[in-house]
Amino acid sequence: MPHKRKRSRYWWVSYTNASGHRVRRSTGTTNRKEAEALEARWKLESFRAQQWDDEPSRTFDEMMLAYLQETTDKKSHQRDLNAAVHLHVHFSGCELNRLRASDIRAYVEERKPVVKPATVNRELGLLSAAINYARREWDWDIPNPVSGRKLREPEGRARWISRSQSEALIRAAEAESNAPHLADFIRLALHTGCRKQELLGLEWARVDLSANLFYLEAEHTKTARRRSIPLNQSAMAVILNRARFRAENCPGSPWVFAHKDGSRIQDVKRSFTTACERARIDDFRIHDLRHTCAAWLVSAGVPLAEVKALLGHSTVKMTERYAHLAPENVRAAVAKLDSSHTLVTPGKKLNRNELTLIR
C-alpha cells in the first residue's frame, strides 16, 4: 500500500520486481488513488516481465522525472534540475530501450557550439546516473550508451597571486568601509585554502581554539567529505579578530563571518571585485584565493598529497595542476640517476660491444 516519507510530499510504494528484489520508489504524486494505480501498474509490469519476459517500453521522461523525485537529497539536485531541462529538449519521448550511441553523439554535437565541454559532461553525467539508477534500483533492462562518451575537458583554471600582491589586496580590502570583514575573509582564505561557502558558513561551534583548528562536516563541503582545517598564526589572528568583533557587536551570533546584527554574511563578491580593482590585480576571482594557497604550499615544497588533504580535493589529479611549481622535487629525483650505472659517458666513442648492449 502507498505510504508517506517524512521528507517527501509524494506517496511511495514498494513491490517485488522481476528479479525478486524489493523496490521502493516514489510515485511522484500527492494523490493517494493515483499512487495506488501506479503501484498496481508496476506490480503488473514486474509480473509480466517475470512470467513472460515481457519488458515494457521505458521512456526518458518517465525515468528522469522519477529519478529527480527520488534524489532530492543530493547536493547537486538543483544543478541536476537545470541539466535535465536541456536533456529534455533532445530526449523527450525517446524510448530508452532504443537509445544508441548515435543519439548521444547527436546530443553532444548539438550542445558543443553552445556550452563548454564541462557543461556537456555534467549533462551526460546526469543521464548516465539516471540510467544506472533505473537499472540498479528499479531493475529496468535498458542500455547505457553514455558510458565512455564524455568530452575531453581543458585543464582547470589555476590563477594565483604573489605574496606582495596579496598584501596589496589586503590593504585595499581594509579600505572597504562597507565590508569591514573582507580583509579577514581574504587572509583566512589564503591561509586555509577553504572555499568561499566553507568560510562564510563557518560556525563558532566548529572552531576549536585549544587545538588551533576548525571542522568542516560532510554537509559543509563540496565533496561531502569531513575534514579538519589547521590554523597557522595568521589564520588564528583572523579567528581572534572575528571573536572580538562578535563580543563587541553580536555575542549571540553563531557565525564567524557575521554582520553587526548577527546575521550571516552571504557573499563578498562585490567588495572583493572593488578591492582587486584598487590593488590593480586583473582577472582574479574569490576562488583564486584557494588556488593561491595551494600554489604557495607547493612552491614551499609541501607534498601534493598533503596539499590534496588540506584542500579536500576528491582526487590528486585536481592537485597536480600545481606540480610544475615544485621543479626542485623533480630535479632531485633525476639527480639520483647520476649515482646509478651509466651505459654511455658523454663524449665517449662507443665500441662494438657497447653498441650491441644498446641495441
HSE of 41, CA atoms in CB hemisphere, 13 A: 8
| Whether residue 192 sits in one domain with residue 94 | no
As for how many domains the chain has, the answer is: 2
What CATH code is carried by the domain that includes residue 295? 1.10.443.10
Last residue of a domain, one of 122, 137, 152: 137
Q: Could you tell me if 116 and 209 lie in one domain? A: no
Instruction: Render the burial of 158-185: b for 16+ CB within 10 Å, e for the rest.
Output: eebbeeebbebbbebbeebeebebbbbb
pLDDT digits (tens, 9 = 90+) for 284-308: 999 999 889 988 888 888 887 888 8
Count of C-beta atoms within a 10 Å radius of residue 195: 20
Domain that includes residue 240, residue range: 163-330
Task: Decide which of 14 and 282 is more confident.
Answer: 282
Question: Based on the domain organization, do 128 and 214 belong to the same domain?
Answer: no
Query: Would residue 155 count as lying in a domain?
Result: no
In a shared domain, residues 130 and 188: no
Q: pLDDT by residue (tens digit) across 312-349?
A: 876 766 677 776 665 555 555 556 666 555 444 555 55
Same domain membership, residue 118 and residue 182: no
Judge if 71 and 133 occupy the same domain: yes
pLDDT at 133: 93
Task: Please tell me the predicted confidence (pLDDT) of residue 48.
Answer: 65
- Residue 249 inside a domain? The answer is yes
Q: Among all chains, which residue has been given the C-alpha cell 633525476?
A: 334
| Whether residues 120 and 169 fall in one domain | no
* Predicted TM-score of the model (pTM): 0.62
Average pLDDT of span 150-176: 87
pLDDT of residue 333: 54
**Residues 224, 261 within the same domain:** yes
In a domain, 341, yes or no: no
- The pLDDT value recorded for residue 257 is 96
Residue 153 belongs to a domain: no
Model confidence pLDDT, tens digit, residues 15-72: 676 566 676 767 767 877 777 777 777 676 666 666 655 566 788 988 999 899 888 8
pLDDT-derived band at 205 (thresholds 50, 70, 90) equals very high
| Same domain (yes/no): 104, 221 | no
List phi, psi (to 5°) of 208. -110, 95
**Phi, psi (degrees; rounded to nearest 5) at 100:** -125, 170
Q: What are phi and psi of 297, to 5 degrees?
A: -65, -50
* Same domain assignment for residues 83 and 169: no
Q: Are residues 11 and 99 in the same domain?
A: yes
d(CA 31, CA 33): 6
- Based on the fold, state whether residues 173 and 294 are members of the same structural domain: yes
